[in-house]
Structure 1
């Protein structure tokens, strides 16, 4: 006979059982939460790693910049040729800025966070942002800005941001020092990264059709901005001119011309595989006395001694501007020998159209094939010229120690019309431009909070 169904009463758990269940539930929940947190962190790290690797690829297209309109800009005391009511301003910029002449773009380095930087560009005339490069990590601590320069090759202009140091790795043995170069096409911001092992602090120049890295002596490497290819040159591959003993003393790579490396010794200089200074010495100079100073826009500035027996041989030097393609002197001028030799040779600065060049107390007009030396007859009160416009108006200061001093309001500001060669004084409180675009002057200033500013003022008449 089948037994009837009987409900068995459920046993009630005691206090200890409740405690056990609760602990187990908490363990499960904590495990789930911990797993989800770990998974989220892994996803975040993976994403950051992917972004960083993407930013360090060989070539990269930048993001289209979002333009920023400045409602008002400070009105600094500047020369009257600039209109302080028309212009633009950016803040927190790097000490360096570069101008691409053909595209009339200004590039600068901006800090992204404590460790990363990026290159940004804007239209020099309107101030409209053009493109923004992706953030990247330099090879030295983030308390210093990477350096910035411009270079042009075959009609294409590039901006180059570079840093030097040791990569940050977990290896016990310190890695070899590197030069890291981020090369951007000025027109669209396409980026190429080149890393070059380099044992000692480098000298990096961009005054020719390539980026020249040297040790300040005879060892160098040339980086092609278009392809990223690197060609190294040592002491044994510099093509010393036959019979030139001076060329083998204190040999130094000074830059790059369209024909090859520009190399100099204690006296005399040459272009590897090209011309030799002794054969292209300016008229009235000692052919074995040439010393190269700087390159810009296809021209070389060099210092020469007058021929022995000349009336001013003991008191004067000849400064000549040479065509870097063939070494021929385009213009020359005599200047008094300085009482103290400057620590740096004067650096050539060209007008945007390339007709005029200035360097320290020197100025040249390529169209008129004329040179100027702005100093008193006894060599006192020399000018330090900083920039020159397409109209041939050069700006600078007397009694300034160097270009940096003139740009930070040292000395007494002046302007010089190179069509007449006559300097005119400017008010003492005038600030000089640190660069020139096609129709814009670039001015730097630092506010009361130590924030650096870069301002572009339109030039009246656009010249």
Structure 2
């Protein structure tokens, strides 16, 4: 089992000033870091100051807090790493909303869009093959009045991450029959309806495919003790990744492409697979092995991109968040980190000898941020990890970035609901 170096070196971050009324900082993420939710009150557009942002947070020493910009635009912050931008989505009160997209290096508005839907509008980002898209979706009745109930539809509006203008139109507008929910399926959009029907949507073209999950069963001989209905887990270029429950875990397969039973020499029903952006993370235990294998998979083929052996019986399904560096080389999820270029990884889970480190972000330089185990002297101590060596260092910062790209880190100030961008040092 590959264990990281646990040399705890106290590092004092130079030039970091805490702001007045500073919040407690970033807590361990329970969901993917694509969004940050801000205030609901109106606020002006950001105005970058030549003297730097007013808010000076305690951040990792990689960033220069004397320069940058800040914004208190109300809404949910959505990083767009391949577009050099960050979107602010604000839900309106009448089945509407807005996107305001800011240049990450200046804070200036790049583009805006007004959103409408048949019901409450929600939004998220998806990145497919290095291209960012913003998605607004809503479900509700079309044509309802005092006499007619109307027709239940689900709308999807897909916007390019890179755009200009004050009233940008969507690249694609789709209206799907039925009351559904739309989410980020990794390799595309995944729309789920109450009658066990799902649809996949290619955000680049708007092309859709419909699947009746009641007719989709595991490959012959794959699942002897399966029960429950088939579920769609993710979207791949070969079709949906499906699963069916077996014991405490599931069997997985992409129809006509691959199945989870081929990944391990052990019991296939003990495999766990989850989407992480447009990749998959999987874990299994081979026959006779003491440790579990954790791996990053290519969704279309199940080819292993990177793997590492970790202590057995981690709570695989309990970790919801993941972080990937903007350039795509590094990926961290929970207590596990991967280098997709080298095909290697590190484990930071709790063992008989080591305390756990929960990873909460990673940069293109292979520097990961995280929190260590609390002690009598310090709650949730912040650490940095060099993923080239696996060395963990105790660090003197409070707030980790929720995005790092285009030479800037994006940070959140809880007490004032302010987004702050600091450039890298140097």
Offset, 1:127 = 2.2
Instruction: In structure 2, list runs of 5 or more residues that go unmatched.
Output: 1-43
Counterpart position of 1:226: 204
Cα deviation for residue 121 of structure 1 reads 1.2
Contact 1:285 1:318 in 2 (8 A): no
- Equivalent of 2:341, from 351, 367, 379? 367
Shift of 1:412: 2.1
Q: Could you tell me whether the CA contact under 8 Å between 1:149 and 1:206 is conserved in 2?
A: no
Unmatched 5+ residue regions in structure 1?
1-65, 401-408
SS at match of 1:127: coil
Residue 107 of structure 2 corresponds to 127
2:329, 2:341 within 8 Å by CA — same for their partners in 1? yes
Q: Is residue 2:303 matched to residue 1:328?
A: yes
Q: Deviations over 1:310-354 (max 9, x none)?
A: 3x2xxx432111122321223222333458x47644443211111
Report what 1:460 is aligned to.
425
Paired position in structure 2 for 1:35: none
Which structure has greater helix proportion?
1
Partner of 2:254: 271
What is the SS of the residue equivalent to 2:68? strand
**CA distances 1:59-101 after superposition (whole Å, capped 9, x unpaired):** xxxxxxx985322331111111111122222213323413141
Give 1:8-407 correspondences, 5 Å limit: 68-71=46-49, 72-101=53-82, 103-110=83-90, 116-133=96-113, 135-140=114-119, 146-152=122-128, 156-166=131-141, 169-175=144-150, 177-188=152-163, 189-191=168-170, 192-199=172-179, 202=181, 204-208=183-187, 210-214=188-192, 219-236=197-214, 238=216, 240-245=218-223, 249-250=227-228, 251-266=230-245, 267-281=250-264, 285-297=266-278, 299-307=279-287, 309-310=288-289, 312=290, 316-337=291-312, 341=315, 344-378=318-352, 381-399=355-373
Give 1:288 shift. 4.8
State whether residues 247 and 265 of structure 1, in contact with CA within 8 Å, keep that contact through their aligned partners in structure 2: no
When residues 294 and 378 of structure 1 are mapped into structure 2, their CA distance, relative to the original with a 3 A threshold, is farther
Work out whether residues 247 and 269 of structure 1, in 8 Å CA contact, stay in contact via their aligned partners in 2. no
Q: How large is the RMSD of aligned CA atoms in angstroms?
A: 3.1
Counterpart contact for 2:407–2:423, Cα < 8 Å? yes
Are the structure 2 counterparts of residues 197 and 412 from structure 1 closer, same or farther at C-alpha, using a change threshold of 3 Å? farther
Q: Which residue of 1 aligns with 2:36?
A: none
Task: Tell me the TM-score normalised to structure 1 length.
Answer: 0.70
Task: Report if aligned partners of 1:349, 1:357 keep a CA contact under 8 Å in 2.
Answer: yes
Task: Point out which structure has higher relative CO (alpha carbons under 8 A, 6+ apart).
Answer: 2
- 8 A contact 1:376–1:382 mirrored in 2: yes
- The correspondence for 1:421, drawn from 371, 390, 395, is 390
- CA separation in 2, counterparts of 1:280 and 1:343? 18
Change (3 A) 1:219 1:96: farther
Which structure shows the bigger proportion of residues in strand conformation? 2
